[in-house]
Amino acid sequence: MTPEEKFDAAIDSAMNDRRDLIGFLENQTDAQAGWEPPDGEWSIAQGVEHILLTDDFARKILVETLETAQKTGNWNNAPDNPQKLTSDQLRRREQGPVPAPEQLHPVEGRPLSEMIPLLMPAREETNKALAPYRKRVLERLNPPATRYGNLNIYDRMNYMGIHDALHKEQMERVTQASGFPAAG
């Protein structure tokens, strides 16, 4: 695959996951989304706020990594044998539970109806910020390592969508919890 094809595949995957998340959220009312499950999981609205915070954070890290590579000319900072989880492993949650860093915890308590319209523009903003690097070979350029291992730029772009999918699964569990309010 060419760098452009790899870039586009990662973006397409993240966009598809975002569209799927929005489709799910559009079926939830503000009251349902604000309902907090008794087991301590985040409400749907808290999950969406976390996703929006994470979008900004991830975009910042990716752009910083790409700008540093551009300035230094070093597009290869990956270890020789990077340890990482594959996209399939990440989708299956093989990394186990991953607590969100404190700065990515929801705090504003905004209604879902105000946040849904922000989701697609946030993803599009990331795409726009990364697009100038579309023709670059990015598989040996790693942002700072995470619990998921040494993911390269393409992996991280793809993971942004996986992050949406994992939170959608959590939100679906919330809708099945005892006491979840009916629509209406």
In this predicted model, what pLDDT tens digit does every residue of 14-54 receive, in sequence order? 999 999 999 999 999 999 999 999 888 899 999 999 999 99
Give the residue, 63 or 96, on which the prediction is more confident: 63
| 46, 106 contact by CB (below 8 A) | yes
Residue 144 is predicted with a pLDDT of 87
Structure token digits, residue 74 = 């070093």
pLDDT digits (tens, 9 = 90+) for 76-123: 998 887 777 777 777 777 776 777 888 888 888 899 999 999 999 999
How far is it between the farthest Cα atoms of the chain?
Answer: 56
| Alpha-carbon 183 to chain mean position | 27
| 94, 27 contact by CB (below 8 A) | no
SS3 134: coil
Q: Where are the alpha helices (DSSP H) in 1-111?
A: 3-25, 30-34, 44-72, 87-91
Structure token digits, residue 160 = 């942004």
- Residue position matching structure tokens 């939830």: 28
Number of neighbouring beta carbons within 10 Å of residue 32: 19
